[in-house]
Structure 1
Amino acid sequence: MALKRQRSTESEGKTTNTKIRCKGDAVKLITKHLTRDGENPSTSKAVAAVSEVAKKHLTVALIDRSNPLGRIMQEQWKVVEMRLLKALFTKIDADPSRRMPTFDGAGWFSGVKIIKCKDDPTVMWLKQAVKKLQGLWEGASLEIVDRSCIPTIPKAKVQIPRTVNPEYGLKLLQRQNTDVPTDDWKVLKVA
């Protein structure tokens, strides 16, 4: 006996037909294309998701390369912000008819300033303007990077049995995480 194929569950998308009664008892057949999970791909959720992905590169981070984690202090940001505003006003005065850089907001993430730009020319202007900033504070090395490039603290993980001597546990942690600088670590507390 041959088994019947279930094409509707095998394919990525599926098509459903719906009958709608119209004036004069005429029946109109509407075909809907659905994705695997039953959602219509042209819904506003799908369009919004695509739009958000397309705009993701417009959210950038201002990092200080002189800090291992790229962080800048709030007071330092105020200095940078004023210098960027001055550069923006200089651009306005130079050619008032040209399109100006526009921003969609700013915030903080792990001590790093996050800036949302409205468009690609704004991102390009911001990168160039930050490169030109000089004499901010000693050792300042500012750069605009993609938000995904924010430096992070390395995390060390190790499975230690409860009966292990704490010093052996530390040695195990150091040997299993060779990419983490653990030479000066010591056990502070055993729970």
Structure 2
Amino acid sequence: MSHGTWSKSKPVVSNKSETSVVSIKQSVLPSHRNTHDQCQSQSKVPNREYAKSEKRVKDDTKMKVDLKVAILDKRYPRIILTRDQVRLLEDKLVEALETGPASSVNLRFDGTDFNEGIMWLSCANEATKNWLKDRVTLFGNLWEDSQLSAVDSKNIPKRYKIRIILKDSDDESDIRNRLLRQNSGLNVKDWFMLERCIEGDDLIINYSVDEEALRSLEKLEFKVYYKLGRVTIKVLDYDKGY
């Protein structure tokens, strides 16, 4: 018999009393039933532990999201931060950490990132997040007409990544103007260019667009009018957004 399996015994009884048969059943069946029940109870323990572990992972992920702050221009996405502006912000934040009054709680960060004209900072605790938001409001005009805001990452409007492939190598501004002229209601001015590259005869451009732009593309069935034909827009992360 292989390990971990069992079958009910069928003893051959000859010239034995009914009492003997009963004693055999009583000695065999309960032991198998107990073993089976024990296997079931042991199998439930890892499931409970897995559920607890999964919950901890979800809680940790939620906490990291709650402690993530975005620094951006209040007029975003029409006006976005540049890399030079982000470097200046980094210098000012480090200076504030070093020269500001001591805090009862350590001000700590888990890292920074720059993406789509937004500076992202991952705070290590709630006190750091609150300090960061207050500090950004005190910076004032770091450069001409700066209007900075620090908000929770979850309050940033969801954006989506789309791709357009064209058979020309025109300037990006010319492409936008052409799309705007031939597709009324398509606000391409708010499209944020992520990447632009040429592969063979194809010009490939990836954009980040907001919910409104995505709905406008849906009305066109993701086929925009361009020059003397139509071009298909591919959505790269329709469900996720970012």
TM-score range, shorter chain: 0.5 to 0.7
Task: Return the structure number with greater helix share.
Answer: 2
Task: Encode CA deviations 1:79-129: one digit per residue, 9 max, x unaligned.
Answer: 1111111111122xx33x732310001112322111100010000000000
**Residue among 81, 99, 106 paired with 1:72:** 81
Correspondence for 1:165? none
Q: In the TM superposition, what is the alpha-carbon distance from 1:29 to its structure 2 partner?
A: 5.1
Between the aligned partners of 1:90 and 1:142, the Cα distance in structure 2 is 21
Cα contact 2:80–2:116 (8 A) shared by 1:
yes
SS in structure 2 of the partner of residue 107 of structure 1: strand
Q: Root-mean-square deviation (CA), in Å?
A: 3.6
SS in structure 1 of the partner of residue 38 of structure 2: strand
Structure 2, unaligned runs of 5 or more: 1-35, 162-181, 187-211, 217-223, 231-242
| TM-score, length of structure 2 as denominator length | 0.48
Between the aligned partners of 1:29 and 1:134, the Cα distance in structure 2 is 63
Q: In the TM superposition, what is the alpha-carbon distance from 1:154 to its structure 2 partner?
A: 9.2
- Which residues in structure 2 correspond to 1:1-191 (within 5 Å)? 19=38, 30=42, 32=44, 40-42=50-52, 44-69=53-78, 71-91=80-100, 94-95=101-102, 98-151=104-157, 170=183, 187-189=225-227, 190-191=229-230
Q: In the TM superposition, what is the alpha-carbon distance from 1:60 to its structure 2 partner?
A: 1.2
Letter paired with 1:128: D
| TM-score, length of structure 1 as denominator length | 0.59
Correspondence for 2:234? none
SS in structure 1 of the partner of residue 59 of structure 2: helix
| Structure ID, larger Rg | 2
SS in structure 1 of the partner of residue 105 of structure 2: coil
Between the aligned partners of 1:99 and 1:113, the Cα distance in structure 2 is 24
Between the aligned partners of 2:137 and 2:78, the Cα distance in structure 1 is 19
Between the aligned partners of 1:151 and 1:71, the Cα distance in structure 2 is 14
Letter paired with 1:137: W
Letter paired with 1:149: N
SS in structure 1 of the partner of residue 44 of structure 2: strand
Correspondence for 1:158? none
Judged with a 3 Å threshold, the aligned counterparts in structure 2 of structure 1 residues 46 and 151 are, in CA distance, closer, same or farther, namely: closer
Structure 1, unaligned runs of 5 or more: 1-16, 21-27, 156-168
Cα contact 2:105–2:127 (8 A) shared by 1:
no
Between the aligned partners of 1:54 and 1:121, the Cα distance in structure 2 is 13
